[in-house]
Amino acid sequence: MPVIALNAIGRYTGGVESYIYNLVKALLDQDQSNNYYLFMSKTQELVYKDLLAYKNLKLISYNINCSNPFARILCENTLLPLDVIKHKINIVHHLCNYIPHISPYKSIVTVHDLCVFYYHNNFPEYNETKAGYNYFKKIGNFVASKAQKIITVSEFTKRQFLDKFRVDPRKLEVVGESYDTRKDKNIINPDILEKYNITKPYILTVSVIRPHKNFDFLVRVFNRLKAQYNLPHQLVIVGDVHFGPEKFFNELEKSKFKDEILYMGRVNDEDLSSIYNFADIFVYPSLYEGFGIPLIEAMYFGVPVVSSNAASLPEVGGNACLYFNPCDENDACNKIYTVLNNEVLKNNLVFNRKERLDHYSWNNIATRVLDIYNDVLGSKND
């Protein structure tokens, strides 16, 4: 019976953490034949502990500080390969962009994006120096040469990986992502609106706060909507601050309509489910995404989506979104206003979401990933 390990070691939040949890759960829902191990740090145990309900999964946690990249690198190059040997593991699937240099086993790597090459200021721990860039370049080159298979989460990310690294294109497989199943569209609690001071109809956006997420742009667009159209809505922004929030908070502070803009930070899944359900529209202004989970999540809740046309987003959203140029405030303002005031268009966007949700279901994703595992299991060692 094959033994498969999934490496989740890291300080993951947001989309990557959601991807790991939901992929592992979907694999275990489908596959009772293989045995699985999930590698993580001690601090991640609470996130994944309910997965222990599956009898063919065991958790292995390491007492390391994932905020220290050197501690993680040391663990993944010493303790992890020893556990691979100890537990006779056949494949290790590294779940976020990285493969250890000491990896004497068959490897699969999921590459979520190449943001670090395009938005260096999102990663102050590696900064914009040539050394930081070269560090990630070396990681990418090692992934390209060492992994048996490389899963990219979109065709866009696949093209970028092929542009950046010398790699056999046959190694690359495109398998998307989906919404976080820990959120529930059946949770509709109107008391949540009062809890978060939501007193009017509202435009919603959900994402971590980083410069490329373009929230300073969204604040300026909201200012235009209020000034030009006397829009009755509030703007509700949900998400952790990661790095580089200054432009967003500066724009928020100087807005004439700042009392109508609610920045909530991180919100628990139950509350966020209700916040999604009561939103009039979901807007996603990002300049760069490797996939774009928030689009699919908003579709799951039946919220009409207006999105940036950058990077992978048109590929993911298909005809279930109306798109704008994320550098053109007037275009974004017009598109948002159009959807808010056109019931036919709004209903069409919501109707078209079914095809996107079916395409990016966790069941389909797990089936594709299991096919890749079987392909690698059947291959000879390089």
Q: Is residue 50 part of a domain?
A: yes
Answer yes or no: do 245 and 225 share one domain: yes
Query: What integer pLDDT is reported at residue 60 of this predicted model?
Result: 96
In whole angstroms, give the CA distance from residue 35 to residue 33.
7
Query: What integer pLDDT is reported at residue 10 of this predicted model?
Result: 84
Answer yes or no: do 135 and 258 share one domain: no
Phi and psi based region of residue 10 (left: phi greater than 0; alpha: psi -120 to 50; beta: remaining): left
Query: What integer pLDDT is reported at residue 75 of this predicted model?
Result: 94
Q: Is residue 183 part of a domain?
A: no
Q: Is residue 382 part of a domain?
A: no
Answer yes or no: do 24 and 159 share one domain: yes
Q: Is residue 186 part of a domain?
A: no
Query: What integer pLDDT is reported at residue 66 of this predicted model?
Result: 81
Query: Domain with 345 in it: what CATH number?
Result: 3.40.50.2000
Beta strand pairing status for 281-284 and 261-265? unpaired
Answer yes or no: do 25 and 134 share one domain: yes
Answer yes or no: do 124 and 236 share one domain: no
Are 279 and 236 in contact, with CB atoms under 8 Å apart?
A: yes
Query: What integer pLDDT is reported at residue 116 of this predicted model?
Result: 83
Are 1 and 34 in contact, with CB atoms under 8 Å apart?
A: yes
Answer yes or no: do 368 and 352 share one domain: no
Q: Which residue has the tokens 């292995």?
A: 60
For 65, list phi and psi in degrees, rounded to 5: -95, 105
Query: What integer pLDDT is reported at residue 121 of this predicted model?
Result: 60
Torsion, Cα of 361, 362, 367, 373 (10° steps): 140
Verdict on whether the full-model pTM lies above 0.85: yes
Answer yes or no: do 158 and 116 share one domain: yes
Answer yes or no: do 118 and 237 share one domain: no
DSSP, res 313: H
Q: Which domain holds residue 332?
A: 191-359
What is the length of the chain?
Answer: 382
Q: Is residue 185 part of a domain?
A: no
Tens digit of pLDDT at every position of the chain (382 positions): 899 999 999 877 778 899 999 999 999 999 999 999 999 999 899 889 999 999 999 999 999 988 788 898 899 999 999 999 999 999 999 999 989 988 889 999 999 999 888 776 656 555 555 666 777 888 899 999 999 999 999 999 999 999 999 999 999 999 999 999 999 999 999 999 999 999 999 999 999 999 999 999 999 999 999 999 999 999 999 999 877 789 999 999 999 999 999 999 999 999 999 999 999 999 999 999 999 999 999 999 999 999 999 999 999 999 999 999 999 999 999 999 999 999 999 999 999 999 999 999 999 999 999 999 999 999 765 5
Answer yes or no: do 242 and 141 share one domain: no
In whole angstroms, give the CA distance from residue 261 to residue 236.
6
In whole angstroms, give the CA distance from residue 4 to residue 369.
12
Q: Is residue 184 part of a domain?
A: no
Answer yes or no: do 27 and 165 share one domain: yes
Answer yes or no: do 366 and 342 share one domain: no
- Edge to edge, the sheet with strand 91-94 lists 57-62, 35-41, 3-7, 91-94, 106-111, 149-152, 172-174
Query: What integer pLDDT is reported at residue 292 of this predicted model?
Result: 97
Answer yes or no: do 207 and 158 share one domain: no
The number of folded domains in the chain is 2
